[in-house]
Amino acid sequence: MLLNNNVTEFILFGLTQDPVKRKIVFVFFLLFYLETLLGNSLIIVTIKTSWALESPMYFFLFYLPLSDTCFSTSIDPKMIVDALLKNSTISFSECVIQVFSLHFFGCMAILILILMAVDRYVAICKPLHYMSIMNQRVCSVLVAIAWVGSCVHSSVQIFLTLSLPFCGPNVLDHYVCDLQPLLKLACTDTYMTNLLLVSNSRAICIVSFVLLTFSYVGILYSLRNHSDEGRKKALSTCISHIIVVILFFVPCIFMYTRPATTFPMDKITVFYIFTTPLLNPLIYTLRNAEVKNAMRKLWSKKLISEDQR
- Which class for 27: exposed (0-12), middle (13-18), buried (19 or more C-beta within 10 A)? exposed
Please tell me whether the overall predicted TM-score, pTM, comes out greater than 0.85 for this model: no
Cα distance between residue 188 and residue 160, in whole Å: 13
Preceding peptide of 169 cis, ω within 30°: yes
With vertex at residue 255, the alpha carbon angle to CA 253 and CA 261, rounded to the nearest 5 degrees, is: 125
pLDDT at 148 over 90: yes
What pLDDT, on the 0 to 100 scale, is given for residue 293? 80
The one-letter code for the residue type at 115 is L
Please say if the pLDDT value at position 4 is more than 60.
no
Please, what's the largest Cα pairwise distance for the chain? Answer: 69
The answer on pLDDT for 142 being more than 60 is yes
Q: What is the mean pLDDT of residues 123-144?
A: 90
Say what the pLDDT of residue 272 is: 66
pLDDT at 144: 96
Give the fold, CATH level 3, of 9-307. Rhopdopsin 7-helix transmembrane proteins (1.20.1070)
User: Which range has highest mean pLDDT (138-142, 169-173, 296-300)?
Assistant: 138-142
Burial (0-12, 13-18, 19+ Cβ within 10 Å), 245: buried
Least Cα distance to 61 among 138, 141, 125, 117 occurs for 117
The Cα 155–Cα 300 span in angstroms is 44
> Higher model confidence: residue 4 or residue 242?
242
The helix or strand, by DSSP H or E, that contains position 144, with its residue range, turns out to be helix 136-162
Q: Which of 118-132, 214-228, 257-271 has the highest mean pLDDT?
A: 118-132
| Banded model confidence at residue 3, pLDDT cuts 50, 70, 90 | very low
List, in sequence order, every beta strand (DSSP E) within the chain: 9-12, 88-91, 171-172
pLDDT in tens, 11-57: 888 777 788 888 888 898 899 899 899 989 988 888 888 887 888 88
CA gap 40, 67 in Å, rounded: 10
| pLDDT band with cut points at 50, 70 and 90 for residue 256 | low
Query: What pLDDT is stored for residue 2 in this prediction?
Result: 44
Q: 152 with 159: CB under 8 angstroms?
A: no
pLDDT of residue 1: 45
